[in-house]
Amino acid sequence: MRLYFTQVLLITAMCTTPAIAGNASLTNGQGTWQSTQCVSPTPPSPEAHDPETPANDVNLRVTQHNQYVQAANDYMKCISTEAQHDADTMSQAIVSAAQAVMHDTQALVDASAAPLQQSVAK
């Protein structure tokens, strides 16, 4: 009965745990994470400063730079949101896995005590 309960608990946890969006890995205690949902903006092409540049060209470059700054801010917000979601999801997965291990260990302890309880009851 307890094994069935544990299996149902694990299946439920797996079904209710949201997926991780980014790519996370852990090697020799070093963790890495990379976004899979956010696209890094491309900076505008650098132009050499020329005092003879027409005002319209300077205005266009300023507009392009401002658009890049906005895209970079949106990108950083996306990274922050995705990373926080992944951190929350991983935390939940770790806690769920630990609870399952503790539950299974308690079931083994209970099972090992059953023969002792039966002999004492006789």
State the pLDDT at residue 13: 47
Element (H, E) at 33: strand 30-34
Instruction: Give the residue numbers spanning the domain of 78.
Output: 52-96
State the pLDDT at residue 38: 96
Residue with tokens 């770790």, as numbered in its chain: 94
Flag whether 38 is in a domain. no
Flag whether 42 is in a domain. no
Judge contact between 17 and 97, C-beta under 8 A: no
Chain Cα centroid distance, residue 61: 37
The dihedral formed by the CA atoms of 5, 11, 12 and 15, expressed in degrees to the nearest 10 = 180
Flag whether 112 is in a domain. no
**Distance between CA 113 and CA 11 in Å, rounded?**
27
pTM for this predicted structure: 0.65
Q: DSSP state, 96?
A: H
State the pLDDT at residue 116: 81
**Number of domains the chain is built from:** 1
Flag whether 69 is in a domain. yes
Judge contact between 23 and 34, C-beta under 8 A: yes
Flag whether 89 is in a domain. yes
Flag whether 4 is in a domain. no
Flag whether 12 is in a domain. no
Flag whether 27 is in a domain. no
| Mean pLDDT of successive 10-residue stretches along the chain, which has 122 residues | 49 54 83 93 85 84 96 98 94 94 96 84 68
Taking the CA atoms of the chain, what radius of gyration do you get in angstroms? 28
